[in-house]
Amino acid sequence: MISLKNISKSFDGSRVLEKLTVEIRTGETFVIMGKSGCGKSVMLKIILRLLIPDEGSIFIDGVDTTNFDEDAMMPFRRKIGMLFQGAALFDSMNVWQNLAFPLFEHTETPEDEIADKIAELLSFVGLDGSQDKMPSELSGGMKKRVALARAMITEPSYVFFDEPTTGLDPVTSGKINDLIIRTRERFGVTSIVVTHDLVSAMKVGTRFAFIDDGKIAFEGTRSELLSSSNPELREFLKDAEWQDRY
């Protein structure tokens, strides 16, 4: 379980998160929605301690990591696979090198074992035999799939997906949604999915939250989300015009 308590974060005096409190329970795919710039990516980065909150605390699997330094944070970062907005592959490395990188960095895994893991994960994401490809040779959807394989290579118990389907066509988005679901089924991971894409949210989510005004303004099930009377959430759902496509 990941738990955030009263997290606040400002940049240059402007408040992004204000006493945000939320729990992500083991086994769920927790979907976080909210307007652009409301602090969704900031929240993920705060959990990873890539950003430091101004106040509040963070618990990962019951451990208070709020004041951990880089060294102390390392095993907790390894528990969390992250797909950043955009695939963020290393453009100068081929797919094999991109996937091997986290293991070379953090572990003593022998190279033949690394090769086996890479082959298995590429097969899982539907990119068998792509080891030698360069990122420039891959489509947007393929890059996301490589990024997922890379996130899974350290066998994390959590995966954070930051806008995994943004900028993808509906067919490619559908494939990514399926992969998010299969990742939970096959590896038993707990996921956070940040998205604007309500079709994707509805497909992959097991619980939902809406951030507004720096806080969790709504938290609940799919049916609670769709029947919520929170005016900002209603506006968000309406603007998203997703019903036609769902």
Ligand X SMILES: Nc1ncnc2c1ncn2[C@@H]1O[C@H](COP(=O)(O)OP(=O)(O)O)[C@@H](O)[C@H]1O
Chain residues that interact with ligand X, rule: CB under 6 A: 11, 16, 34, 36-42
Give 60 or 211: the residue with its C-beta nearer to ligand X: 211
Give 200: exposed, middle or buried? Use CB within 10 Å, 0-12, 13-18, 19+.
buried
3-state secondary structure of 176: helix
Yes or no: say if 209 and 31 are a contact pair by the CB < 8 Å rule.
yes
Check residue 65 for interaction with Mg ion (CB under 5 A).
no
Count of residues touching Mg ion (by CB under 5 A): 1
DSSP state of 129: T
Measured from the CB of residue 231, what is the shortest distance to Mg ion in angstroms? Answer: 23
| One residue of 41, 173, 177, 195 binding Mg ion per CB under 5 A | 41
Distance of alpha carbon 23 from alpha carbon 192, whole angstroms: 11
Give 153 or 192: the residue with its C-beta nearer to ligand X: 192
Distance of alpha carbon 134 from alpha carbon 18, whole angstroms: 42
Of how many residues is the chain composed?
246
Measured from the CB of residue 207, what is the shortest distance to ligand X in angstroms? Answer: 18
Single out the segment in contact with Mg ion by CB under 5 A; choices: 8-16, 34-42, 143-151, 171-179: 34-42
Measured from the CB of residue 128, what is the shortest distance to Mg ion in angstroms? Answer: 31
Give 41 or 183: the residue with its C-beta nearer to Mg ion: 41
Q: Which residues contact 92 (CB under 8 A, 6 or more apart)?
A: none
Check residue 200 for interaction with Mg ion (CB under 5 A).
no
Residues within the interface to Mg ion (CB under 5 A): 41
